[in-house]
Chain A
Amino acid sequence: MALLLDIASWALLSIGGIFVFIGGVGALRMPDLYTRMHAASLTDTMGAILIIVGVMLQAGASLAAIKLAAILLFLLLTSPTASNALASAALLAGLRPGAAVQDEEERGE
């Protein structure tokens, strides 16, 4: 049982790590702010969920697991809000999504 839990938790941690890595690569490689945020949000959602659930499996049924669940809930509430605030601030500041600009250019030609 303990071995199974260990395997499950390491699998979750590794997949979470991969998601964080993909998020990091995406944030560097994507062409404009909105697509970069889209990639980075992978770190906040999939990465955070998988890693915290993996750590929770390691913690077992204890106070630490409840604290981790509280942290996960907090992250799931705040990171999308932060992404939303960032995107709407960028839009208000006049930054257009790259795809829309490209579309218009093509239509204009």
Chain B
Amino acid sequence: MTELFGVFLLTFMVITAVAIVHTRHLLVAVILTGIFSLLMAANFFLLDAADVALTEAAIGAGISTVLFLAALALCNEHERAYTSSRLLALSVVTVVTLIVIYATFDKPRFGDPQAPVHQHVAPWYFDTTREAIDVPNVVTAVLASFRGYDTLGEVFVVLTAGIGVLFLFGVRPTRKSEMPNTTAPEPGQGLRHYLIPRVVGRLLIPFILLFGLYVQFHGDYGPGGGFQAGAIIAAAFILNALLEGESQALQVMPQKLLTGLMAGGALLYGGVGVVTLFMGGNFLDYSVLAADPVSGQHWGILLIEAGVGITVTGVLISIYHAFASREKH
């Protein structure tokens, strides 16, 4: 039954992908990528990867759709028609597809317990988590402690992406005073003239923030953690920016604060590593943080997850503002 449902979802994903390639209307393509991500999230959930499913749903289907829409508001909604020959692209795609299909022949069967991935380090992670880290969610233990270097790298990738977007677009809040009011709906006013979305949105924002904090601090026990929580908290602030307008949102969360959050989260993560070095352990070996190694691990995971969440929140809100505070040219 599970496999049948998985095949069903994957078929839908192929149809969606073809539709994305086929459509010339970029708005439609953006909505379809959101649907694609949601199908992917359902697929991950079907494979018992609830953490990845939550990330895909929050970031893939949620935030990136909003960011794409914000970017689309700056440019044309239609893809430019191109006349060049697509024979080269077609042949490259065909060759790559054939190679990938050939590669799948060597793959172990779906759910095979003898598969290398279940024989390599995974059993060690499962056995060691219980005694050394003692958090119910092994994914969090792997992500935050066993493979803390990788996650540190990911946080810096997110930070670098944020810095790149800010360099390219940059928020100029002083621009507003120079701009004379010409058109009736002033840009950056948000949805203020829409009563119902405003009322409901205002009602929901505190609960979205609460849910984000739950996902952040419940990551040791269930699906969740800094990446997902950062996306959810950023979604609350982006909703606020959509409802109240850019200038209002930048008053609540000034760009300086956002930049501070971006760097501060990564700094917190790296700082934990440096502290463990000074306390006599290895870089990002949290066992030395407390007298008891297990509670030291708990402290370390709590701190670095907070760092991840802070950086992701700061970067996502900054990227949104970088797009939304620009005028269309």
Contact = CB atoms under 8 A, between A and B. Distances in A.
B315 to A, nearest CB: 26
B99 interface: no
Candidate in B191, B200, B201, B204 with the most chain A CB atoms within 10 angstroms: B200
Interface in B190-213: 191, 194, 196-197, 200-201, 203-204, 207
B204 A88 contact: no
A78 B204 contact: yes
A78 B200 contact: yes
B17 to A, nearest CB: 21
A61 to B, nearest CB: 20
Interface in A64-91: 74, 77-78, 81, 84-85, 88
Interface string A77-109: 110010011001000000000000000000000
Interface residues of A, number: 7
B204 A84 contact: no
B203 A85 contact: no
Nearest to A85: B197
Nearest to A81: B200
Contact of A85 (B194, B204, B207): B194
Nearest to B191: A85
A17 B191 CA distance: 34
Interface in B174-203: 191, 194, 196-197, 200-201, 203
A12 to B, nearest CB: 20
Interface string B98-111: 00000000000000
Contact of B194 (A74, A77, A78, A88): A88
18 contacts: A74-B204, A74-B207, A77-B200, A77-B203, A77-B204, A78-B200, A78-B204, A81-B196, A81-B197, A81-B200, A81-B201, A84-B196, A84-B197, A85-B191, A85-B194, A85-B196, A85-B197, A88-B194
Interface of B: 191, 194, 196-197, 200-201, 203-204, 207
Given A77-B204, A85-B194, A88-B194, 15 more contacts: A74-B204, A74-B207, A77-B200, A77-B203, A78-B200, A78-B204, A81-B196, A81-B197, A81-B200, A81-B201, A84-B196, A84-B197, A85-B191, A85-B196, A85-B197
